[in-house]
Amino acid sequence: MTDSAPVDLHCHSTASDGTARPAEVVRLASDAGLSALALTDHDTVAGVAEAAGEAARLGLDFLPGIELSCSFPRPGTLHLLGYGVDPASPALLKLIDEQTRAREVRNRLIVERLNGLGLDVSWDEVLEEAGAGRGENDETRDGGTRNDGTRDNATRDDAARGGGATIGRPHLAAVLVRKGLVASARQAFDRYLGGAGGAYVDTNRLSADRAIAAVRAAGGVASLAHPLLLRRQTPQQLEAMVRELAEQGLEAIETIHSGHDADTVARLTRLADRLDLLTTGGSDFHGSAKPGIRIGRPAGREVPRGFYDRLLHCLRRRRETHRGRPADAPTPAVVADRPGRAGPPSAGQPLQPWQQGSVMNRS
Ligand code: AMP
Ligand code: FE
Ligand code: FE
Ligand code: ZN
């Protein structure tokens, strides 16, 4: 691995709907020869401490991240990536807590609708699916058993370390597949869980501007994930939407992604240039939940190291700008010093590059 090796800035772990534990995601990235990784679980930073620890051990550069689901008119989807966020930021944790609660309400409603359609699925089965593989010593979802205790207790415990694990529709899909009620996750989404499905429920009330503000309050940079999923009809409509988000504090867009062909990458890169936005990229790795996706190889491409370096440059510049202005300063970005507890790095722990104060010029 060298400093010029490619990176992956969009990955999911068992802290949300991925199937590999956070440390395992880091090991896969290292095995793939990547030089840096960002963990971006849906609506949680619960996996960040574990991933940061493993990255430090393996000498991989690591950025704590998150992917926030925002409200957006159907059939579009608006996901915001936050990079370099402080996993202990009160503003971010408050928002995560709200998202967790809203998700639970929605997920239970989906189960009710599935039941109404005659499908035998219970909330406990969904919890079991989402919790499998999250035990302290389990390496994989398949080999794992659920930590016991109620979801409420789990949520409270997890909240102390940066949000609980996120439960989403992929877990519901997995239950339907496991019980033989559908042939595949795809069929589960097509028939029941997707925007046009019979059990679809959307209760997401998080506005994009609030999500962007929380990412920035947590010291992070906000990037628009997979912009095509906004499903704007024309390039002009997409540009207008991205401009609006940029006015709200968006600083980057995801150009390279497993769902983007060469044409899309080129088009989004030009859009980023026009609007003076940074570019981010990643595979959107979910482990065996999305078997077609390889870590570090979005649609067969590589994400250049420069994407990570420019992001880091931006994060550091921000921290320097805020230095000496404590009243305005966001909470400084810190990483957990040991698993399960967010706090400043301990003396023996090397600082991750994004934690250091000086601007590093690699270009
Ligand atoms: P949620 O956050 O609960 O709304 O679930 C959204 C997640 O479901 C996305 O991040 C994807 O990982 C997954 N997903 C969405 N649509 C599909 C689909 N048609 N097939 C498989 N997975 C999907
Ligand atoms: Fe996902
Ligand atoms: Fe997404
Ligand atoms: Zn994602």
Mean pLDDT (the chain) is 84
Q: Are residues 286 and 140 in the same domain?
A: no
Residue 149: the pLDDT is 30
Question: Who contacts 303 (Cβ-Cβ below 8 Å, separation ≥6)?
Answer: 6, 7, 8, 9, 256, 281, 282, 296
Question: Which of 260, 186, 253, 192 lies closest to 225, judged by CA?
Answer: 253
The single-letter DSSP state of residue 341 is B
Kindly report which listed range (38-47, 164-173, 220-229, 323-332) carries the lowest average pLDDT score.
Answer: 323-332
Residue 134: the pLDDT is 53
More confident residue, 184 or 361: 184
Residue 295: the pLDDT is 98
The ligand 1 site (C-beta within 6 Å) comprises 17, 42, 69, 168-170, 185-186, 189, 194, 286
Which atom of ligand 1 is closest in space to residue 79's alpha carbon?
A: 10
Residue 333: the pLDDT is 42
**363 is a domain residue:** no
Q: Are 91 and 264 in contact (CB under 8 A)?
A: no
**202 is a domain residue:** no
For residue 171, pLDDT over 60 is answered with yes
Range of the domain at 26: 7-88+219-355
Nearest CA to ligand 1 atom 3: 168
Percentage of the chain exceeding pLDDT 70: 79
Calculate how far, in angstroms, residue 10's C-alpha sits from the geometric centre of ligand 2.
Answer: 10
Cα–Cα distance between 320 and 173 in angstroms, integer? 45
Q: Tokens in use for 241?
A: 């939407």
Q: Are residues 260 and 315 in the same domain?
A: yes
pLDDT tens for 242-290 read: 999 999 999 999 999 999 999 999 999 999 999 999 999 999 999 999 9
Q: Are residues 252 and 333 in the same domain?
A: yes
Mean per-residue pLDDT, 159-175: 78
Q: How many domains does the chain have?
A: 2
For residue 332, pLDDT over 50 is answered with no
**2 is a domain residue:** no
Last residue of a domain, one of 178, 193, 208: 193
By DSSP bridging, strand 278-281 and strand 78-83 are unpaired
**170 is a domain residue:** yes
pLDDT tens for 7-32 read: 999 999 999 999 999 999 999 999 99
The single-letter DSSP state of residue 91 is H
Question: Which of 285, 275, 223 lies closest to 85, judged by CA?
Answer: 223
**144 is a domain residue:** yes
Q: Are residues 257 and 321 in the same domain?
A: yes
pTM recorded for the entire structure: 0.85
Calculate how far, in angstroms, residue 206's C-alpha sits from the geometric centre of ligand 3.
Answer: 15
Nearest CA to ligand 1 atom 2: 168
Residue 74: the pLDDT is 83
- List Cα–Cα distances, 186 to 59, 243, 249, in angstroms: 37, 33, 35
**307 is a domain residue:** yes
Q: In this structure, how many other beta carbons lie within 10 angstroms of the beta carbon of residue 258? A: 21
Residue 358: the pLDDT is 29
Which of 43, 71, 78, 169 gets mutated to test ligand 1 (max ligand atoms within 8 A of its CB)? 169
The string of DSSP letters for 110-146 reads: HHHHHHHTT----HHHHHHHHHTT-STT--BSTT---
**40 is a domain residue:** yes
Residue 321: the pLDDT is 75
Q: Are residues 42 and 158 in the same domain?
A: no
Nearest CA to ligand 1 atom 20: 186
More confident residue, 36 or 156: 36
Percentage of the chain exceeding pLDDT 90: 74
Nearest CA to ligand 1 atom 6: 169
Query: What is the CATH number for 36?
Result: 3.20.20.140
